[in-house]
Structure 1
Amino acid sequence: MCFVISDACMGEKLLTLFMVLFLALPLYAQMDKAASFTVKGQVLDSLTNESVPYATLRIALASTPEKPIKLLACDIDGKFQTPLNNIGTYIIVMQSIGKAPAEKVFTLSDERKVMDLGVLFMQDNNLRLEEVTVTAQKPLVKAEIDRIIYCLEDDPEAQTNNTLEMLRKVPMVTVDGEDKIELKGASNFKVYMNGKPSNLLSNNPSVVLKSMPASSVKNIEVITEPGVKYDAEGIGGIINIIMVKNTLQGYTGSVSLNTITNGRIFGSGYLSLKAGKFGLSANYNCDRDNTPWNDASSMREDLNNKEEHYLNQVGRSKSRAPYHFGNLEGSYEIDSLNLLTVGIGLYLGTTRSVLEYAVKMLDADRNPVYSYNRNSESSRKSGSADMNVDYQRSTRKKDELLTLSYRFSRSPNDNEDYTELTDIRNYEPWLGYPQNNINKASTNEHTGQFDYTTPTWKDQSLEAGIKYIYRQSRSNTDRKAFNQTSQMWEEATPADSHFDHSQQIYSGYLGYTMKFGKFGVKAGARAEGTSLKVRYELAPDMNFGNDYFDVVPSAVVSYQLSMSQQLRLGYNMRIQRPGIWYLNPYVSNADPQNISYGNPNLDSEKSNGVNLNYSIFAQKFSFNTSISYTFIDNSIERYTFIDPADPGIFRTTYGNIGKRQTTGLFVYGSWNPIPLFRVNLNGSLSYTDLRSEKNDMANSGFSGRVFAGAQFNLPLDIRLNLNGGFISSAIQLQGRRSPLNFATVYVSRDFLKKKLSVSLYFYDMFWKRRKMEATIYDDTFHRQDISYSPMRTFGIGISYRFGNLKDAIKKVKRGIRNDDVKALESGS
C-alpha cells in the first residue's frame, strides 16, 4: 500500500522521536549523580583573576598521589564539579598550558559530603608541561583560521556507522534523504582525502562515503575559505576527509560487513603496517546496491501546441550497481629531513538499469493522438585511477618545508543504452528504433607542483608555489538505428560525437599568514593562465580555442574573543570549470520525447563570496554560526526547452545563462551535559535570487534544512543513536522538487575488549515509501514527474579490529590539489 506523508504527519513523527530523547535525559542525569560525595571549585589566574578555561585536573588519594582516581577538565569559566565515592584525604593537581602546576589537599567526611574548594589560583610558567590524559568527552568541533574541523574519531557513533551518515553532523554540510551532499546549500564543492584531490570521491562522493566505515576516518574538515594554494578556478568550499593515521610499529587493521533488507550488501577492509622507515596503509571497500522496481509517471503540457498538447508516461524502473574502490599509500623516511610517499587510488562501478514505460500523446481535448511502449536497458561504467608521488624536504629551521609532487589521474565515464519501441500506434519516430548508443568518455590529467613554506618572524609564515596541469577530456559516440523499411541497422552518428577538449593550466601563488595579539590574518593572491582547445574529429570546421588569464585574491581575518571563541571574516574569488559531464555533446535519447546532452561551449563560472563566522567550542557545549553571501554572474544552469523544429520533442542541456545571488545563515550546535548523553543540531536557511535573460526565466525564495540527533551511552556498553532531518525544496531556475525527510536509529555494542562491534540500524521506520515530485516549467510548457521509492529498511553490521602499531606513518604535509573542475551534483 502506497501513501504520502504530509508535512504535518512528518512533523508529528519527528516531534515524537525527539520528545523521547529529552524525556529520557533526567533518567541519565540521575545515573550520573549516583556518587555520595562532591567536590567543586574554580581555577583562576593569580595575576589577572581571569578564569583558566579547560584546565586539567587530577584527583588522587593523598597517600598515593601517583595513582589518580579521577581525571577531568574545567569548563570555559574554569569551574569544575565532580563526584567522589568515598571519604578520605585527597590531593587535586591542576595543570594548564603556560601555567605552573598547582595542587590542593582536601578531606571528605560523612559530615561534609560537598566540598567547595572555592577559588584555586595558578601562576604563569614558561616550562613545558607533560601531557595529561583527560577522560572527559572532548568537544567534537573546533575552528581554525580557514576551516571547521569535526573530530570523527572522538564521536562514539563513528565506530558503527558509515562516513556518509556521519557527514550529516558536520557543520555547514547536509546530506538529504537521497544521499545528495551539499556544502553551504550548494553542490559545487570538492571532496579531498588526506588533503589531496581524489577522483573517486569527487566523482562519486555519496557512493564512496556510504561504503566507507566512519571508524577509518580521523577528522572531516570543512574549508570554507580556500586559500591561494588551492587552484584559483576551484570551488567555494572543500570537504577534506582525513583518514586515521596509525602510530605504532607493527600492524593494525579492521574488517566489516553490513547488509540491509533492500538487498544492499557492503563490506570493507583496512590494514596499516610499519617496519623501520617503511610504512604502508591500504583499504578496500565493496558495495552491491540493488534497487527494486520503482513506479514513476510523467505529465507534460505544451501550452502552445493544441494538436500534441498532453504527453503522459507511466512506468517503472530498477537498477543494480556493484562498486569497488580502494586506496594504497606507502611512505619511506629517507632520513629525519626527507620523506617520500606514494599513493594509488582506484574506483570501479557499473550501474545497470531497466526501464519500462507506456507513452500516450493527447490533444488539447484529451483525444488520443499516438501511443507506444518504450523499453530501455542501459549500462553506465564509471571509475577513476589516481597515482601520486610526493617528496618532502624539511630543514633544520622549524616548519620550513619544500614539497615536490606529481599526480596522474584518469576518470572513464562510459555509457551504453539500448531502446526499443513496441505497440506503436500512429507514431513515426524522428530516428529509427530500436536504437543502440555507445559513448566512450574519459578525462586524463597530469599535474606537477612545487610548494615552499617557511616561518619568517614570530607567528608569521610565507608560502609560495607553482603548478602545471594538462587535462584532456574525450567523448566518442557511436549510434546505430534500425531501419524498419530495409530491416537493417544503419549508422546514425552525428558530426559532433567525436569530441576532444584539452586544457593547459599554469599558475603561481604567494600567501602570507600572521598572528598579532588576538588577531590572525591569512592573505595572498594567485595568478593563473589557461589555454583551451576543442577539436571535433568528424567536423574540423567546428574546432575552436581560447586563452584566459586571471589574478585571484583571497583574505581571511580572525579575532580570538577568548580561548574558546573566535570571530572570522573571509573573502574569496573562485572560478569553476565545467567537467566532462557538462561538456559532453553525447545525446541521450532513450526517451525520444525528452532528449538531453552537454554543451562543449560552456565557459567557466566566476564567483565572489564573503563569509562571517562565529564559533565557541567548550567542553560540554559547541556552537558555530556563519552568514555568507555569494554572487555568480555567469552560473552554469540546466534548462529545458521545446525543440523549434519538432514541438513534440523537449531538449535539456546546460548554459552560462544564470545570475545567482545567495545569502545564507548556517547554524551548528552540540550539547554534552553528561557523559551519557549528547545532542546536536545542524541547519541552515538561505535566500536565493536566480535570473536568466534566456526566455526571461527567474526564480527566488527561501530554502532550508535541519538535522538533529542524540547519542545515549547505555549500561552494558550499549550505544543508542537517534537522528532525523528535513530538507525543503531548493531554488531552481525552472521548477521545484519535493521536500525530503528522514529518520534513523542505530543500536550498537562492543565485545571482546572493544575489538568486535555489532550494530543494528533502522532507516526511515515511519514511512514505507517516498513520493517525490518534480516540476519544470516556463511560459511555454509545464511538466510534472512523480516517482516512488522504498524507504523503510533494516540492517545489521559487524566489524572487527585487530593489531597495534608504535610509530606514526608519516605523510608529506603538502600535496597536489586539483579543485577547479565543476562536477555533477553529488548523489546524481
Structure 2
Amino acid sequence: MHFINKPLTTLILSCCLVLSFSSFSQQILIGTVKGKLLETSQKPIEFATVALYKAADSTIVKGTITDSSGLYLFEKTAEGNYYIQASFLGYKTFTSKYFSINRSKHEINLENAILEADDKTLKAVIITAKKPLVEQQIDRTVLNIENSILSEGNTALELLEKAPGITVDDDGNISMKGKPGVSVMLNGKLTYLSQKELTTLLRGTSSGSVSKIELITNPSAKYDAAGNSGIINIVLKKNEKVGINGNVYVNGARSRANRYGGGASLNYRSGKFNIYGSYDHAYRGEIEYLSFTRRFYDGNVGGKPDRISYQNSETNEPLHTNNYKIGVDIFPDAKNTFGVLVNGNFGKYANDNNTTNLLVSSTGETLSNPLTHNDNLDRWKSNAYNFNYTYKLNQSGRELSVDLDYSQNDNRSNQNMDTRYLSAENSTVEARSVRRGYVPSLTNVYVGKIDYTHPFGEKAKLETGWKSSNVSVDNNLKYDTLRNEQWIPDPSWSNHFTYKETIHAGYINFSKQFGSVSVQAGLRGENTQTAGHQVTTDSLVKRQYFQLFPSLFVSKTFGPNHRGQFSYSRRIQRPDYDDMNPFRFFRDPFLYYEGNPFLKPELTHSVELSHTFKGKFITAINYSYTSDVMNWMMGQVDSLNTTYQSPQNLKSFINYGISFTASLQPASWWISNSFANFLRNDYKGDQKGGKLDNGIWSFSINSQNTFQLGKGFSAELSGFYNSRSVYGVFVSKGFYVISAGAQKQVLDKKGTIKLMVNDIFQTRQRRNTAKYENLDMDGHIRFDSRMATVSFSYRFGKDITPIRKRSPGSEDIQNRVKGGN
C-alpha cells in the first residue's frame, strides 16, 4: 500500500475545474430561428422533422422536431445565411427561402410552413436495421439481448452465463476469460450491493427489461479502477421514440417448478421533454439438488479415510421480484439536458433446504445421520435516485456532465435451522437443535461525479473528471436458540458489524490519432478510506491508501483488412462487505461459512494484444498478474467432522491465454457468432501451514446462431462448452449446454410470439473436487436449468426516432458493494 497525502488529489481536481471554467470562453452564438408547420387545413403537424441548412453549401447545421403545436425552434445559431427543410411521412418536403442572421437581425420568425399531402405516396416501405446478436467493437463486446429469442424468460444472471468468455459459479460469482473479480454495472450505475445481494438482484432482473450487455475486458482510466478482470455493463431498455410509445409482455415457463413474468413500459417524448416509466414482475420457481462427499482423517492424510460424510440437499427456492423505473429528461434547448431518474427493485427470496448428512466409519458403520431443515427468507427493497445534467458547450463536442446519486438498499433475512440427530439405527431421534436468526442489513450510498470532454479538432480529445462516493453499512445479526421450548438469545452466534467506505477519485484521459495509429493514455488516482467495526467485540479495522491506475491503448490500421491493438491497465478489487463480515452462516451443523475482517485489496496488472481481420475475426493474447488475490479457501476440522469456508489473501494469481472471435454469415439467412478461449490459471499461496500451487489449462467455446426463415419466422441455436477449470483449491469438471428457440412476428409485426428451451439436455451441472492439506471433498450440484418458455410481447406507438438524443451524464459508475448478509 502507498500512503500518500492529498496534494496530488487536489491537483487533479484543480485541473478538472480549470478545464471546466475555460469552456465558457467560446464564441457567442447570437441567432434564434423559429416557425410553425401546418397542414393545408391549418392543423398543426407534430413530431415532424425540421433541419437547418447553410445556404452556401447546403450542409446541415442542426435538427429538431416539432412539438404538439407544430412549433420548432433553433437557438444560439451563428451569424450567416440559412434555409430550413421540413418533412413528414405522407407529405411533400417543404423548403424555405434563404434568410440571414446578423447582429442587427438575430431573431428570425419564419412564416408558417404549409406541408401538402403527397397523393403519390406509396405504402410506406419500412426497412428495419436490426442489430446483430453479438457486436465486436474496438474496446468491448456487445450482446444485443433484446434481439435474442433465447433470452426470453431468463434472468440477467442467466444471460451472463451465456455470454462469450463469461462463467458464473453456483454462488453467483462471475469470471471473464477465466479471471474472477468482475465489476457489474447496471446502466453504468453503481448499485453498491454485496455479492449475495447482487446475485439476488441479477436473478430478479428479467431479461425482458434488458437491452444489451457490454463486456469490457480492459477499461480505460475514465472507469472506476475496481474489477480486476474487467467490467460488465447491463443496459436496461429505454425508449427514445417520439410521441407515446410502449411495450407489454408476458411469459410462462416450466423447469422443475413453474415460472412466469410480465411487464410494461411507457414513454412519451416531445421536443422539450421525455417522460418514461416501466414495471416488471416475475416469479421464479427453482429446485436444485446438491451433494457433497467429505473424507476425514485422524492420522494418515491421503490414505484410507477414518470417516466419510455423505451430505445431500434439496432446495426449493421461489423468488418473487419487482422492478420499476420512472424518469424525465428535459431539453430546454440544444445545449442543456436535465434528467431525474428513480428506479428500484423489491421482492422476496426463499430457500427451503432439507439436508441429510450421513457419517460412516471406514468399515461402513453409521456413526450419525443428522437431518437439517433450513428455512431462509430474504426480503429486500432497493431504491436509487439520480439527478443528471449535461451541457454541450458547442458543436465541436465540448461537454460537461454532472451526476448526483443516492441509493438505499434494505435487506432483511429470517433464518431458521432445525436439526434432528437420529440414532445409529436411523429410527429414533436422540437430540434436537433449533436456532433462528434475524439478519438486517442497511446500506446507504452517496455518489457525486463531474466529467468534462474537450476535443481538439477531429483527431484528439481530452477527458477528465472527479468522483466521490460514501458508503455506510449496518448489519446487526441476532440469533436465538430454542431451549426447553423457550427462545433464548445466543450471543455466541449473534454479531453486530458496521462498515464505512469513502473513495475520492480523479482521472485524466487523452486520445489522439496519428495517421493510421491511434493512442489513448490515461491516469486515475483513487484515495480510499475504510473502517470495519466489530461492535460486538469492539474491534476496529481501519485502512487508508492512495493508488494510481495508469492505462494505455495503442491501435494501428494495416491496410483495409487488418487492425492491431495493444492495451495495458492496472486495476484493484476491494473486499466486499460480505467477505469481511466475520459472522458464521451454517448450511448444517457441520458446514459453515465465515468472513474475514482483515482482507486486503488485490491489485492486478493486465496486458492484451489483439488483431482484427476484416472486422469479423479477432485474435487476442492476454496476460494478467494479481497480488494478494482474494479466494474463498476451504478448511476442515477432522476431530469435529466439520468443514468451513472463509476468504483469504493468497500470494498471487496468474492468468494468460489466447482467444478467437468470429462473426460470420454462412448464408443470407444465417448469422453465426463464435468465441473460443484457451487459458491457464495459476494460484499460489501459503495458507495455514500448507503450500498452495494449483494451476491448470482450460478452454471454452461459445456459439450463437440466428436463422431468418421467412414469413416472420426466425430461430436461434446456441451452445457452449467449458472444460476443466480451477478456482483456488477447487478443480471443476467440464460441462456443456445447448439451447434452441423460435419466434413469429404477428399483428403487423408489432407482436412477437416466442418459444424456447434452455439447456435442452440438462447438462449444466457443477462437479468439483478439492484436495489441500487434510481437506478431501467432492461436490455435485444439479441446477434447475432446463426450462421451456413461451412468451408474447406487443409494442405500440409511433415509430419515429428524433434527431437529437440526450447523452447520458454518467456511464462509468461500476458495481461493487457493501452491505448484505
Residue number among 703, 706, 728 corresponding to 1:708 in the alignment: 703
Alpha-carbon shift at residue 596 of structure 1 (Å): 0.7
Partner of 2:81: none
Rounded Cα–Cα distance in structure 1 between residues aligned with 2:657 and 2:386: 37
Q: What whole-Å deviation, never above 9, does each CA across 1:288-307 have from its counterpart, x for those lacking one?
A: 11124x44432211123699
| 8 Å Cα contact 2:568/2:606 also seen in 1 | yes
Alpha-carbon shift at residue 552 of structure 1 (Å): 1.4
Rounded Cα–Cα distance in structure 1 between residues aligned with 2:460 and 2:577: 41
Determine if the alignment matches structure 1 residue 602 to structure 2 residue 599. Answer: yes
| 8 Å Cα contact 2:406/2:447 also seen in 1 | yes
| 8 Å Cα contact 2:402/2:450 also seen in 1 | yes
Specify whether residues 168 and 754 from structure 1 end up closer, same or farther in structure 2 by C-alpha distance, changes over 3 A only: farther
Alpha-carbon shift at residue 195 of structure 1 (Å): 3.3
Alpha-carbon shift at residue 535 of structure 1 (Å): 1.7
Partner of 1:54: none
SS of the equivalent of 2:328 reads strand
SS of the equivalent of 2:220 reads coil
Alpha-carbon shift at residue 469 of structure 1 (Å): 1.1
SS of the equivalent of 1:552 reads strand
Partner of 1:752: 747
Rounded Cα–Cα distance in structure 2 between residues aligned with 1:566 and 1:162: 36
Partner of 1:546: 543
Alpha-carbon shift at residue 574 of structure 1 (Å): 0.4
Determine if the alignment matches structure 1 residue 761 to structure 2 residue 759. Answer: no
Question: Which piece of structure 1 moves more, 232-241 or 351-360?
Answer: 232-241
Q: Which amino acid aligns with 1:237?
A: G
Specify whether residues 453 and 770 from structure 1 end up closer, same or farther in structure 2 by C-alpha distance, changes over 3 A only: closer
Q: Which amino acid aligns with 1:799?
A: S
Alpha-carbon shift at residue 594 of structure 1 (Å): 0.8
Rounded Cα–Cα distance in structure 1 between residues aligned with 2:128 and 2:750: 20
Q: What whole-Å deviation, never above 9, does each CA across 1:202-239 have from its counterpart, x for those lacking one?
A: 8546864785446862x543222211122234443122
Instruction: Output aligned runs, 1:718-733, within 5 Å.
Output: 718-733=713-728
Residue number among 278, 283, 287 corresponding to 2:282 in the alignment: 287
| 8 Å Cα contact 2:527/2:544 also seen in 1 | yes
Residue number among 678, 685, 693 corresponding to 2:671 in the alignment: 678
Specify whether residues 397 and 494 from structure 1 end up closer, same or farther in structure 2 by C-alpha distance, changes over 3 A only: farther
Partner of 2:418: 420
| 8 Å Cα contact 1:400/1:454 also seen in 2 | yes
Partner of 1:127: none
Partner of 2:20: none
Q: Which amino acid aligns with 1:561?
A: F
| 8 Å Cα contact 2:263/2:281 also seen in 1 | yes
| 8 Å Cα contact 2:292/2:311 also seen in 1 | yes
SS of the equivalent of 1:197 reads coil
Q: What whole-Å deviation, never above 9, does each CA across 1:600-619 have from its counterpart, x for those lacking one?
A: 2211111110011222455x
Q: What whole-Å deviation, never above 9, does each CA across 1:118-165 have from its counterpart, x for those lacking one?
A: xxxxxxxxxxxxxx9987877665555533444556778779987667
Specify whether residues 186 and 205 from structure 1 end up closer, same or farther in structure 2 by C-alpha distance, changes over 3 A only: farther
Partner of 1:577: 574
Determine if the alignment matches structure 1 residue 690 to structure 2 residue 690. Answer: no
SS of the equivalent of 1:821 reads coil
Residue number among 766, 774, 795 corresponding to 2:768 in the alignment: 774
Rounded Cα–Cα distance in structure 2 between residues aligned with 1:146 and 1:715: 34
| 8 Å Cα contact 2:209/2:280 also seen in 1 | no
Rounded Cα–Cα distance in structure 2 between residues aligned with 1:279 and 1:686: 47
SS of the equivalent of 1:453 reads strand
Q: Which amino acid aligns with 1:286?
A: H
Q: What whole-Å deviation, never above 9, does each CA across 1:720-752 have from its counterpart, x for those lacking one?
A: 212222112321221223322211111111111
Q: Which amino acid aligns with 1:587?
A: R
Partner of 1:633: 627
Q: Which amino acid aligns with 1:415?
A: S
Determine if the alignment matches structure 1 residue 784 to structure 2 residue 782. Answer: no
Residue number among 343, 351, 354 corresponding to 1:353 in the alignment: 351
Q: What whole-Å deviation, never above 9, does each CA across 1:532-582 have from its counterpart, x for those lacking one?
A: 222222222x11312101111111111123455432110000011112221
SS of the equivalent of 1:731 reads strand
Determine if the alignment matches structure 1 residue 377 to structure 2 residue 372. Answer: no
| 8 Å Cα contact 2:411/2:440 also seen in 1 | yes
Question: Which piece of structure 1 moves more, 748-757 or 728-737?
Answer: 728-737
Partner of 1:51: none
Rounded Cα–Cα distance in structure 2 between residues aligned with 1:672 and 1:773: 36
Q: What whole-Å deviation, never above 9, does each CA across 1:423-449 have from its counterpart, x for those lacking one?
A: 44489x9x9821011111233211111
| 8 Å Cα contact 1:522/1:556 also seen in 2 | yes
Q: Which amino acid aligns with 1:751?
A: V
Partner of 2:34: none
Instruction: Output aligned runs, 1:198-217, within 5 Å.
Output: 198=191, 204=198, 208=202, 212-213=206-207, 217=211
Seq. identity, %: 22
Rounded Cα–Cα distance in structure 1 between residues aligned with 2:757 and 2:274: 39
Partner of 1:303: 297
Instruction: Output aligned runs, 1:8-47, within 5 Å.
Output: none
Rounded Cα–Cα distance in structure 1 between residues aligned with 2:755 and 2:377: 33
Rounded Cα–Cα distance in structure 1 between residues aligned with 2:133 and 2:784: 33
Specify whether residues 209 and 539 from structure 1 end up closer, same or farther in structure 2 by C-alpha distance, changes over 3 A only: closer
Q: What whole-Å deviation, never above 9, does each CA across 1:227-256 have from its counterpart, x for those lacking one?
A: 112223444312223455544321111111
Partner of 1:821: 816
Rounded Cα–Cα distance in structure 2 between residues aligned with 1:414 and 1:697: 37
Question: Which piece of structure 1 moves more, 306-315 or 324-333?
Answer: 306-315
Rounded Cα–Cα distance in structure 2 between residues aligned with 1:775 and 1:407: 44
| 8 Å Cα contact 2:165/2:675 also seen in 1 | yes
Rounded Cα–Cα distance in structure 1 between residues aligned with 2:350 and 2:591: 20
Rounded Cα–Cα distance in structure 1 between residues aligned with 2:463 and 2:757: 48
SS of the equivalent of 1:582 reads helix
SS of the equivalent of 1:578 reads coil
Rounded Cα–Cα distance in structure 1 between residues aligned with 2:751 and 2:720: 30
| 8 Å Cα contact 1:197/1:816 also seen in 2 | no
Specify whether residues 380 and 531 from structure 1 end up closer, same or farther in structure 2 by C-alpha distance, changes over 3 A only: same
Q: What whole-Å deviation, never above 9, does each CA across 1:307-342 have from its counterpart, x for those lacking one?
A: 972222234222211111233232111322111111
Residue number among 316, 321, 324 corresponding to 2:322 in the alignment: 324
Partner of 1:479: 479
Instruction: Output aligned runs, 1:656-675, within 5 Å.
Output: 656-675=649-668
| 8 Å Cα contact 1:164/1:209 also seen in 2 | yes
Q: Which amino acid aligns with 1:692?
A: G
Rounded Cα–Cα distance in structure 2 between residues aligned with 1:136 and 1:171: 24
Alpha-carbon shift at residue 407 of structure 1 (Å): 0.9
| 8 Å Cα contact 1:201/1:208 also seen in 2 | no
Partner of 2:796: 802
Q: Which amino acid aligns with 2:598?
A: N
Q: What whole-Å deviation, never above 9, does each CA across 1:246-300 have from its counterpart, x for those lacking one?
A: 44321111111111122111222222211331102223222211124x4443221
Specify whether residues 766 and 590 from structure 1 end up closer, same or farther in structure 2 by C-alpha distance, changes over 3 A only: closer
Question: Which piece of structure 1 moves more, 568-577 or 133-142?
Answer: 133-142
Specify whether residues 174 and 495 from structure 1 end up closer, same or farther in structure 2 by C-alpha distance, changes over 3 A only: closer
Q: Which amino acid aligns with 2:470?
A: Y
Q: What whole-Å deviation, never above 9, does each CA across 1:457-477 have from its counterpart, x for those lacking one?
A: 441111111221111122211
Partner of 2:521: 523
Alpha-carbon shift at residue 401 of structure 1 (Å): 0.9
Rounded Cα–Cα distance in structure 2 between residues aligned with 1:628 and 1:823: 30
Question: Which piece of structure 1 moves more, 381-390 or 440-449?
Answer: 381-390
| 8 Å Cα contact 2:474/2:819 also seen in 1 | no
Determine if the alignment matches structure 1 residue 560 to structure 2 residue 557. Answer: yes
Specify whether residues 471 and 617 from structure 1 end up closer, same or farther in structure 2 by C-alpha distance, changes over 3 A only: farther
Q: Which amino acid aligns with 2:644?
A: R
Specify whether residues 273 and 824 from structure 1 end up closer, same or farther in structure 2 by C-alpha distance, changes over 3 A only: same
Alpha-carbon shift at residue 774 of structure 1 (Å): 2.7
Instruction: Output aligned runs, 1:445-524, within 5 Å.
Output: 445-484=445-484, 487-494=485-492, 497-524=495-522
Partner of 1:735: 730
| 8 Å Cα contact 1:362/1:369 also seen in 2 | yes
